Amino acid sequence: GGGIAVLRDASLSVVDSLFHENAAARPGGAIYGDGAAIEVRRSRFVSNRSGSWRGGAIGLTGGSIDVQGSAFAHNSAEDGGATFAFLPSGASHDPNNIPELLTDPASAYLSHVTVHGSVTTSNTESAIYAKGTPLVVEDSVFTGSYGNGDPGSLVVLVSYDRVDTGETVRAE
């Protein structure tokens, strides 16, 4: 993570914080977690980027993340998940080498989250990339995102477990 890296069995609580213009060559321009428990409340993530992988703002392999009441604007990633990337632990950092079945999936809960202006340059999963990850998104808004230069590529979820968006997610 360009701002913070949280590793195995550690936990991180972020409250009322700003992450601005952080960059990482690998996942998590602002925050990267590997098998960690991460909680984010009332925070802003602006213009963070992941240079050659996913998760421009936050990248997570294994572990869990709970994001509530936070805003994400103009985050970017080279290959999908400009704002968020969630993968099981053990996932390679090579985007072309992600095994289909991995143990210790990441789990992600997003509530009252606003995402605007996510941009990827080489893929279409502009706002969220989630593989093998239980993902719940509630009462959230996604606007103005671009994938592979195409406007309207707001949220593409790739998951082999459970994706629950209910009827509370709005994408424009």
Cα–Cα distance measured from residue 100 to residue 110, given in angstroms and rounded to the nearest whole number: 24
- Report the DSSP pairing between strands 71-73 and 150-151: unpaired
Q: What is the pLDDT of residues 41-97, one digit of tens each?
A: 999 999 999 887 788 899 888 889 999 999 999 998 887 677 888 777 655 545 444
Q: What is the pLDDT of residues 6-53, one digit of tens each?
A: 998 899 999 999 999 999 988 899 999 988 999 999 999 999 998 877
pLDDT of residue 124: 57
Tokens of 124: 């279409």
Q: End-to-end distance of the chain based on CA atoms, in angstroms? A: 29
> Maximum CA pair distance of the chain?
39
More confident residue, 115 or 11: 11
pTM of the model: 0.82
Cα–Cα distance measured from residue 157 to residue 148, given in angstroms and rounded to the nearest whole number: 15
